[in-house]
Amino acid sequence: MMKIFFFITLLSIVFAEADNAAQEDKRPFEIFTLNNNFYGNFIDHEDIVFVKYYAPWCGHCKALKPIYENLAKELHNKLKFAEVNCEESKEICEKEGIEGYPTLALFRKGRSKKVYGGERNLEAMKNFLENASLPPIIESTKEEIEELKKKENSFVIIKSEADDQIRNKLVELVDELDYLHFYALNTEMDNFELAVYNGDSKEMFTYEITTLDKFNGIEFIDWANTKTFPLFHQVNMPLFRRIENLPVYTLWYFYQGTIPKVHEDLFRGLAKKYNGKFIFFSFNKIISEDQVKHMHHTGNVYPVISIIHTNKRNMYVMDEDVTIDEETINNYIESILNGTAQLYYQSSDPIKPEDQKDVFKLTGHNFNEFVTTKGKDSLVIFCVERADMCKYFLTTPLAKVAKRMQGIDTFQMAWIDASTDDISPEWNLNIIPKVYLVSEKDGETKKVEMNEMPSEENTMKFIMENALFKFEMPAPLPEENKEDESPESDSDSEEAEKKEDVIEKPQEKKEL
């Protein structure tokens, strides 16, 4: 499931191993030791604090120690350095959600915690902290802005006279947009208040602010992010992190040796054309052939292309024998955008109706069609085939619901194995089974999540209450239908409650 994350694991390992051993230089007095009695106060009152959460036994923490000390030594006049021993101060680390050691996080006046995700060597961390300790918006002249452009940097410009409300909102966004600096330009800048400059394409984009109270930070971040994204860059962690939650397609161009100039030009051109919809990455096979295979290529032919929608996880794998030229790629992109391209599915073929059991089983091939059926309320159940608990739900309470609802032709129900590759994160599968009712009417999709473990009664009630197409509640099944069931399953809701504490999470984090 979610093979794209393989890439993250891989690069994290590469980064972890790249740690430089810095020389020992003990200046511990520059690093504040924070504990349960002395944490919140410190974090809230200092302008900028960089905190290291560690455990005494952890190897990477030991390797980081001298680097962290050097960092503190060099930068202690710009910000404060602190550390928390998570063995001694468990509450703090729990509260902060520390999941691995060491974790490094930056705080500004207690707010906007930012976990450091870069390489753990002196230079990278210093660079990060020097940037972080700059004033949020730097007043600048037209000449300075021209200099920045020459350095091929990307940045945000706000008119010095811009409304305070916008300025204040921008200041709050600084940590979210740490890959972009903010400059205020104090001139008779003509017709815009807010703009970004893409240092790679050397283009400037103006942000339309309709009304002040509608100025939405998150929208601006997403906009600025895609507008300033490098046109065709070797994929790396910081770049990937920028777009991993955006609703965009990422095209991965896998190559060996060097990238032909015509391809470089082709993808840079396409990146401008499809700005905001498609991101273009190159990926040298020597970084990881496994990644090439995880995106469903043989690893024998280069260059090859895979496309994945980062949000929906839809995957498209281009034939290895196709010629990469403008017309082919353009058509391929267009066919993805107009929904006619062939999706790549990991999961098995659809299951024949005659092989179906109590509740109809979907696979990636027919899932989308099922949940977008017009004129029907569709109940979809996410479960995991190999989990006994799922067998129980599907053969007992939900099978009864299926039987009871048989005569209602505005209703359909089915289930899908949540441990396969085909389910996008939008379904929020933190527990299984998870039940949704999805309805399509007049072009609108309504999706309701059931928040209880499904019993026959509460599922019937859930459908009744949320169905767009109303129906008469069908009577419970006559007694004789119950004969072949085990005696314990008589009371569904009681049984469901008992099962609740054995709920497993689908793989989600384990495979990271």
Ligand X SMILES: *[C@@H]1O[C@H](CO)[C@@H](O)[C@H](O)[C@H]1NC(C)=O
3-state secondary structure 127-167: HHHHHHCCCCEEEECHHHHHHHHHCCCCEEEEECCCCHHHH
Query: How far is 124 from 383, CA to CA, in rounded Å?
Result: 43
Query: Of 29-68, which residues contact ligand X (CB under 6 A)?
Result: none
For residue 264 the two structure tokens come to: 């470089």
Instruction: Identify which of residues 152 and 511 has a Cβ nearer to ligand X in the complex.
Output: 152
Q: Would residue 93 show up in a list of annotated catalytic residues for this protein?
A: no
What mask of x and - would describe binding to ligand X in positions 363 to 392, judged by CB under 6 A?
Answer: ------------------------------
Q: Min. distance of Cβ 424 from ligand X in angstroms?
A: 22
Query: How far is 130 from 326, CA to CA, in rounded Å?
Result: 42
Is residue 423 helix, strand or coil?
A: coil
Which residue shows structure tokens 């739900």?
Answer: 393
Query: How far is 183 from 143, CA to CA, in rounded Å?
Result: 12
What mask of x and - would describe binding to ligand X in positions 161 to 200, judged by CB under 6 A?
Answer: -----------------xx-x-------------------
Query: How far is 259 from 270, CA to CA, in rounded Å?
Result: 16
120 binds ligand X (CB under 6 A): no
**DSSP conformational letter for 351:** P
Q: Min. distance of Cβ 277 from ligand X in angstroms?
A: 14
Q: Min. distance of Cβ 89 from ligand X in angstroms?
A: 28
Given candidates 7, 68, 101, 128, which one binds ligand X under the rule CB under 6 A?
128
# residues near ligand X by CB under 6 A: 13
Instruction: Identify which of residues 153 and 395 has a Cβ nearer to ligand X in the complex.
Output: 153
Query: Nearest CA to 389 among 434, 451, 350, 430?
Result: 434
Q: Of the listed pieces 202-210, 327-335, 387-395, 422-430, which binds ligand X according to CB under 6 A?
A: 327-335
Which residue shows structure tokens 């129980």?
Answer: 392
For residue 139 the two structure tokens come to: 């007043």
Instruction: Identify which of residues 19 and 452 has a Cβ nearer to ligand X in the complex.
Output: 19
Helices 456-466 and 397-404: angle between axes, nearest 10 degrees: 50
Q: Min. distance of Cβ 154 from ligand X in angstroms?
A: 8
- Which residue's beta carbon is nearest to the bound ligand X? 334
Q: Would residue 383 show up in a list of annotated catalytic residues for this protein?
A: no
Given candidates 153, 284, 366, 489, which one binds ligand X under the rule CB under 6 A?
153
Is residue 371 helix, strand or coil?
A: helix
Instruction: Identify which of residues 179 and 192 has a Cβ nearer to ligand X in the complex.
Output: 179
Q: Min. distance of Cβ 328 from ligand X in angstroms?
A: 10
Instruction: Identify which of residues 147 and 449 has a Cβ nearer to ligand X in the complex.
Output: 147
Instruction: Identify which of residues 155 and 220 has a Cβ nearer to ligand X in the complex.
Output: 155
Given candidates 20, 127, 187, 245, which one binds ligand X under the rule CB under 6 A?
127
Instruction: Identify which of residues 123 and 388 has a Cβ nearer to ligand X in the complex.
Output: 123
Please spell the DSSP secondary structure of 442-468, one letter per residue. Answer: TTEEEEEE--S---HHHHHHHHHHH-S
What mask of x and - would describe binding to ligand X in positions 329 to 348, judged by CB under 6 A?
Answer: --x--xx--x-x--------
Query: How far is 390 from 380, CA to CA, in rounded Å?
Result: 13
List Cα–Cα distances, 210 to 13, 207, 215, in angstroms.
45, 9, 7
For residue 297 the two structure tokens come to: 């290529």
**Distance between start and end Cα atoms, the chain:** 10
Instruction: Identify which of residues 118 and 257 has a Cβ nearer to ligand X in the complex.
Output: 118
Q: What dihedral angle (degrees, nearest 10) is formed by the CA atoms of 162, 229, 424, 353?
A: 130
Q: Min. distance of Cβ 332 from ligand X in angstroms?
A: 8
Q: Min. distance of Cβ 241 from ligand X in angstroms?
A: 12
Q: Of the listed pieces 124-132, 227-235, 283-291, 444-452, which binds ligand X according to CB under 6 A?
A: 124-132
Q: Min. distance of Cβ 64 from ligand X in angstroms?
A: 17
User: How many helices (DSSP H) and strands (DSSP E) are in the chain?
Assistant: 17, 20
Catalytic residue of the set 61, 86, 383, 390: 61
- Strand boundaries in 201-321, DSSP class E: 203-206, 233-234, 249-255, 278-284, 304-309, 315-317
Which sequence positions are flagged as catalytic? 58, 61
Chain residues in the site for ligand X (CB under 6 A): 118, 127-128, 131, 153, 178-179, 181, 331, 334-335, 338, 340
